[in-house]
Chains A and B, each alone.
Chain A
Amino acid sequence: MKRGNIFAHFVPLSLLLLCCTLAMGGTTGGKESNDKMGFIGALTCKDCHEAQYNSYAKSIHFKKSIKGPQSQDACETCHGAGAKHVEKGGGRDVDIFTFDKKKDPKEKSARCLTCHQRTPGMDLWEMGAHNRNDVSCDSCHELHAGVTQKPKDPEVCFGCHRDIKIEANKRSHHPILEGKVRCSSCHAPHGSLSKGMVRADDPQQLCYKCHADKRGPAAWEHPPVEEDCQSCHSVHGSNHARLLNERIPQLCQNCHDWSRHPGTPYDNKATFSSRWDCLRCHPSIHGSNSPSGGGMRHVR
C-alpha cells in the first residue's frame, strides 16, 4: 500500500467541510426562559458591573445565536435573578450567585452543566477525578473572557499539578513545555473512565497512538512492555535518559538476574558500566521480530 493513499484527500476535504459549515446560514435559535420572575436584564447589571459586562460581551457566552446566556437571560442565566440583589443595594454574595473561590465547586459546575451537560465528553464529568476533587469549571475556564474559552495548556494544569510541572522540566521529558505535546493530548480533563483520566481505556493504547512502532505484537515480547509502559518510563519527565524510571543497568537489574553478566555489579571500575549499558546489546527491548532465537533476549 502506498503511504497515505487512504488519507490523501481527507485533509483538503476537511477544509472544505469546515468552510461549508461556517458558511451555512441559519441559527439554532434561542429558547426563551419561561420563568422570568425577578429578572432585571443585563443592562441593569452593567450599571454597577461595567467591567464584568464588557468582558462578558466579548465572550462566546454573549453570542445571541447559541442557546447560551445571551439568548436567554444574559448575566442572570448563570448568576440567578438579580432583583433582590438590586433591592438590597448589591454587595458580594447578597442574593446573587457568584463564582467565588469559596463557593461549593459542585454548585458552580452545576450552573455550567445546565447547558454543557450535553457537550460531547461532559457525560463523564461526575465520575472524573477533577469533579471529585473539588475542581469546578471556573477553576480552569475564564467564563467571561475569550471566544474559544480554551484554558492555556499546560499553564493552567501546572497551577495545581506542581509535581508534574517539575517533572515536565526535567532533563528528559516529553515536549510539553515546548508546546508539542499538550496535557490534553493524553488526558481528558472533563472526565474519563480510566485511571489518571487518560484518553484511552488503558495507557498502552494511548502511548501507541504516537509510538506505534512499539505496538507490535512482536515475535519475542518483553512482558512488562506489553502490560504497562510505566514499569520503565516516567511519562512526564525524568532525571534519567529516555524518560526512564531509573538509570540503566540498575533498571534492568531490578528484574533480571542470571549467571555471569546480568547479575554482575557494574561499579565505576567495570567496563560494562563505564561504556556500555544493556541496550547496546539488547536494543530490541520493546520486542523483537527476529527469526533467530537471539530475539528472545532482544539482542536482534
Chain B
Amino acid sequence: MKRMMYLPLAVLMTTPSFASDEVHGDLSIGLRATHFASGDESAKYNEYLDMSDGLFGDANLLFDTENYYMGFSAKNPGLDDQSYELWGQRFGVAKGRIYFDELTHQLSLDALTPATGIGSNYLLTPDAGTPASVPPISSWTPFDYNVERKVFGTEFTVDPQDKPFYFKASMEQQQHDGVMPWGTTNFAGFELPMPVDYTTNNLMVEGGYRSKETTAVLTAGYSVFENDYDLLTISNGTDIEQYSTPADNYSYNFGGRLVQRLPMKSVLALNAGYTRNISEADWRQYSQFFSPSADNDYDGDVEYIRGGAVLTSQWSAMLDTRLFYNYVDRNNASEKITALDDGTTNHLFEYDRHKAGLDANYRLNKANKIASGYEFSYTNRNREDSDTTKDNLIFAQLKNSAIEWMSTSLRLEYMNRSSDTDYSAATLEGDGLIHQYFTPFDNASKDRYKAKVAVDFNLSQGLDLGLSYALVNDQYDATQLGLQDDQRHEIYVDFNALLPAKIRLNTHAGYEYTNSNFDSRRYNPGGAYPAGATNANNYNWSEETTYDFFVIGGSLTVPVRHQLDLVFSVDHQWVDGNIDFARSAAAGAALAPITDADDYYKTQFGAKGIFQATESLSITLGYLFERSNLDEWKYVNYTYTPGSYYLSGAGLDNDYEAHQVYVITKYHF
C-alpha cells in the first residue's frame, strides 16, 4: 500500500496544469458470445488473448496542451489479456510511460494426467511398473497447460532540447506463472506438467551527449531471473526422479558508442560492449548427488566482449558507401564438472566471431539506383564438429522507378560458407566414427543463392498492387551425410484499392514452397561406416521434405449509407507437408511416407456493420467465424497410453470451429 501513496501526490501536482486544456479520447464497450461447434473451446483459439464471453472494451484518453501531452489507455480491463498504459511528454524536456500488460499463453486445455501435485514441483505418479496401479484414463485429473505473463514497466527519457545531454532509464518486471509440458519421466514414462513460476527484472540506463558533430552514448543494464521451482521431483511412491529446471541467473552489461560526423558527409560510429551472464544451480536439493562441486551448486559464468566500427560516407549526390567491422568474443568461465554417475565431463562452449564488409549505393540517375556489397565473416569455436566457419557473401541490387506509376527492385546474393571440424581421424572410434561422414547443418560448408524481385504499382491515387518473389537455395555439396540441399520459393501479392462510392478493398495472397533433401545412416555400434554392410540395423537412408503453404485474405469496406459501413473480411491459410523416405531393399521394407506433416488450415470470415449514430457515437454489430484444423502425424489417432507410456495431451488441443457475435459501442470525445 505504501507505494499507492505516491499516486494522489502525483495527481495533485499535475491537476492545475490540466485546467482549460483539451481532452480527446474514446471509450469502447463491447459484448460478445462465442459458440464452438464441437462444444469445446480450444487452446489455439485463445492462444494469446482472452476471448471469453461477456464484456470487453478499451478506453483511450489524451490531454493535449501547448506544453505537454499526457495519455492513458486501458484495454480489456478485468480480462486475462488486459493492459494499461500511462504516458506523457513535456515538449523539449522529457517523456515517459508506465505500463502493465498481461497475456495468457494457452498451450493445451483439458490435458489429463494420473499424477497429483500439478502446478507444484513435486509430482506423485502411480507405479507404472505395476500397470494395474495406474487408474483408468476416465479418472485422470484434467488440467490446462497455460502460462500467464504479466509485465509491469516504466520508461523515462529526459531530453532537454537546449542541453547537450540526455538520459534514459527503463525498468520492467515480467512474471510467468503456469504449467508447461516437460518431457517424460524415465522410470514411469509419464508426460510431465512442469510448474512455471519465473520472475525477471530488467533495468536499463542510458546517458548521452550530442553536439552537431558528435554523439557519445553510455549504456548499462542489469537483469535478474528467479525461478521459484528450480527442481522438479517425481515420485511413484517408491522411486524418485529429479529434473533440473532453469536456474536462477543474473546478467549485467555496459557499453558505449561514439558517433562522429566527419567531412564529406561521412559518419563514423565506434561501439564497444561487455555482457556477463551468471547462474547458480543449487544441487543440495537433489536426493542423489552425481557431480563433485566444492560448494554443492553449479556456477555458470559467461562473458561476451564486443566491439565494432561503421563508417558511412556520402562521396557525392550519387554515391554513398558503408564500411563496417564487428567482433564478439564469448568466454566461458563456468564450472568444469565430471559427473560421478557416468564420468561425463561438461563442455564449456566458447567462440569468437569477426565480421567485416563494404557496400555501396550508386544512383545512376533519378530513376535508377544500384547497390553492391561484400561481407566476410569468420567464426572460431571450441566445438569439435564445427571448429571454424568462413562466410563470403556478395550481393547486387538494382532499383528502378523510371515509370511514374511503377517501381521495381531486384536483389541477387551469393554466399559461400566454408567450415571445418576439429576431429582427428586417428582418435575417432566406435560410434564417433560417424563424425567423419556426417555434418551438422547449422555450420556446414555450403553455397547459398538468393534472389528477390519486387514490383510495386501505384496505378492511381488509392490503387496499389505489389508483387514479390524470393528464392533461397542452399547447396551442401561438401556434405556426405546430413542436409544435402534446401530450397525455398516465396510469392506474395498485395492489392489495395479505393473504388468508386468510397468502397475500399485490401487483399493479400502468398504461396511458399520449401523442399529439402537429407541423407543419413542408421547403425548399431560398429556400423557407422556408410559403405559398410547393409542390413536391418545398418543402412543408409534419405529423406525428402516438401511443404506447400498458401494464404489468401482481404477485407472489403462498403459504405451503404452516409452513416453505415459494412466490412467483410476473409483469411484462409493452408499447409501441406510431406516427408518421403528411401532406403535399400536390403535394409528391410520400404519406409512409409508421412503425408500429414504439420498439415494445417485456418479459415476466418468476418462481417460487421458500423453505424455512426452521431458524430461521436458509433455502434458496431459483427459476426466472426473461425475454423482451424491440424493434421500432424504425431496427433492423428492420438492415444494417451501408447505402449508403456502415459501422455497428457500436450500439444493436442488445436482444432476448433468458433462462431462469435459481438456488439461494440464506441464514443469519441
Task: Specify the chain B residue showing the minimal Cβ separation from A175.
Answer: B48
Cβ of A51 under 8 Å from chain B = no
A256 to B440, alpha carbons, bound, how many Å? 7
Is B251 at the interface (CB under 8 A from chain A)?
A: yes
Contact across chains for A215 and B251 when beta carbons are under 8 A apart: yes
Residues of A close to B528: CB separation below 8 A: 259
* Contact across chains for B249 and A212 when beta carbons are under 8 A apart: yes
Taken together as a complex, chains A and B put the C-alpha atoms of A156 and B359 apart, in Å, by 27
In the complex, the answer to whether B201 meets A7 with C-beta atoms within 8 Å is yes
B279 near A127: Cβ-Cβ < 8 Å: no
Known: A28-B162, A219-B300. A239 touches B575 (CB 8 A): yes
How far is A132 from B83 in the complex, measured between Cα atoms in Å?
36
Residues of B within 8 A of A179 (CB): 75
Q: Among the listed stretches A11-19, A37-45, A76-84, which one makes contact with chain B, having 4 or more residues with CB under 8 Å of it?
A: A11-19
A167 to B269, CA, bound (A): 33
Q: Beta-carbon contacts of A8-50 to B below 8 Å, as 1s and 0s?
A: 1111111111111111100111000000000000000000000
Q: Which residue of B lies closest to A232 (CB)?
A: B442
CA distance A281 to B230 in the complex (A): 19
Total B residues in contact with A, Cβ cutoff 8 Å: 204
| B-chain residues with CB within 8 Å of residue A52 when the two chains form the complex | none
B267 contacts A127, C-beta separation under 8 Å: yes
User: Which residues 165-196 in A have Cβ within 8 Å of B in the complex?
Assistant: 165-166, 169-171, 175, 178-180, 193
A66 touching B161 in the complex, CB below 8 Å, given contacts A18-B156, A254-B483, A259-B527: yes
> Would you call B301 and A217 a contact (CB within 8 A)?
yes
B159 contacts A by Cβ under 8 Å: yes
Question: A265 contacts which chain B residues (CB < 8 A)?
Answer: 520, 522, 541, 543, 581, 583, 591
Which of A254, A284, A290 is in CB contact (< 8 Å) with B482? A254
Are A127 and B328 neighbours in the complex by a CB distance under 8 Å? no
Complex CA–CA separation, A107 to B297 (angstroms): 60
| A residues in contact with B502, CB < 8 Å | none
In the assembled complex, which residues on chain A have CB atoms less than 8 Å from the CB atom of B527? 259
Measured CA separation A259–B482 after assembly (Å): 15
Residue on A nearest B15 in the bound complex, by CB: A23
User: Is the beta-carbon distance between B383 and A223 smaller than 8 angstroms?
Assistant: yes
Interchain CB contact (< 8 A) of B322 among A127, A210, A213, A300 = A127
B6 touches A16 (CB 8 A): yes
Name the segment of B33-41, B87-95, B120-128 touching the other chain.
Answer: B87-95
Over the window 94-118 of chain A, the binary record of Cβ atoms lying under 8 Å from chain B Cβ atoms (1 yes, 0 no) is 0000000110000000000000001
Minimum Cβ distance to chain A for residue B204 (Å) = 9
A63-B91, A165-B508, A201-B255 known; A291+B434 contact, CB < 8 A: no
Q: Are A21 and B86 in contact (CB under 8 A)?
A: no
Q: Mark B92-115, 1 if CB is under 8 A from A, else 0.
A: 111011100101000000000000
The answer to whether the Cβ of B332 comes within 8 Å of any Cβ in the partner chain is yes
- Contact assessment for B253 and A205 in the assembled complex, using a CB-CB cutoff below 8 Å: yes
Taking a contact as CB atoms closer than 8 A, the residue among B160, B523, B583, B639 that contacts A28 in the complex is B160
A11 contacts B90, C-beta separation under 8 Å? no
Q: Is the CB of B183 within 8 A of A239?
A: no
Q: Which residues of A contact B330 (CB under 8 A)?
A: 226
CB distance from B583 to the nearest CB of A (A): 7
**Prevailing SS type, chain B contact patch:** strand
A11 to B10, CA, bound (A): 12
Contact between chains at A180 and B48 (CB < 8 Å): yes
Question: What residues on B are CB-neighbors of A18 within 8 Å?
Answer: 10, 86, 88, 96-98, 156
CB contacts (< 8 Å) of B339 on chain A: these are 291-293, 295-296
- A275 to B, closest residue via Cβ: B642
Is the beta-carbon distance between B96 and A178 smaller than 8 angstroms? no
In the complex, the answer to whether B279 meets A218 with C-beta atoms within 8 Å is: yes
Supposing A290-B243, A300-B242 touch, asked if A283 and B481 sit within 8 A by C-beta, the answer is no
Complex partner residue of A22 from B14, B156, B369, CB under 8 angstroms? B14
On whether A283 and B182 interact (CB within 8 A), knowing A22-B88, A23-B14, the answer reads yes
A220 to chain B: which residues have CB within 8 Å? 346-347
Please give, as numbers and ranges, the residues of chain A lying within 8 Å of B184 by CB-CB distance.
280-281
Q: Which of A13, A169, A250 contacts B551 (CB 8 A)?
A: A169
Q: How far is the CA of A294 from the CA of B343 in the complex (A)?
A: 10
Closest CB of chain A to B162's CB: distance in Å?
A: 5
Q: Is the CB of A193 within 8 A of B326?
A: yes
Q: Is the CB of A12 within 8 A of B201?
A: no
Within B345-403, the residues touching A (CB, 8 Å) are 346-349, 351, 359, 361, 369, 371, 381, 383, 386, 399, 401
As a 0/1 sequence over residues 230 to 270 of chain B, the CB contacts with chain A under 8 angstroms (1 = contact) are 10000000000011111101010101010100000001010
Q: List 18 A-B contacts (CB under 8 A).
A: A3-B226, A4-B199, A15-B86, A29-B162, A127-B267, A201-B328, A219-B244, A223-B381, A227-B351, A254-B518, A257-B481, A267-B593, A275-B642, A275-B645, A276-B642, A282-B183, A295-B244, A296-B339
Nearest 8 CB-CB pairs, A to B?
A: A217-B300, A283-B183, A293-B344, A293-B339, A213-B246, A255-B440, A212-B225, A289-B281
Given contacts A216-B279, A254-B440, list 20 more A-B pairs with CB under 8 A: A18-B96, A20-B13, A22-B90, A27-B92, A67-B161, A120-B208, A126-B267, A170-B549, A175-B103, A208-B223, A210-B200, A217-B277, A217-B302, A219-B337, A255-B441, A255-B442, A260-B524, A267-B593, A291-B290, A295-B346
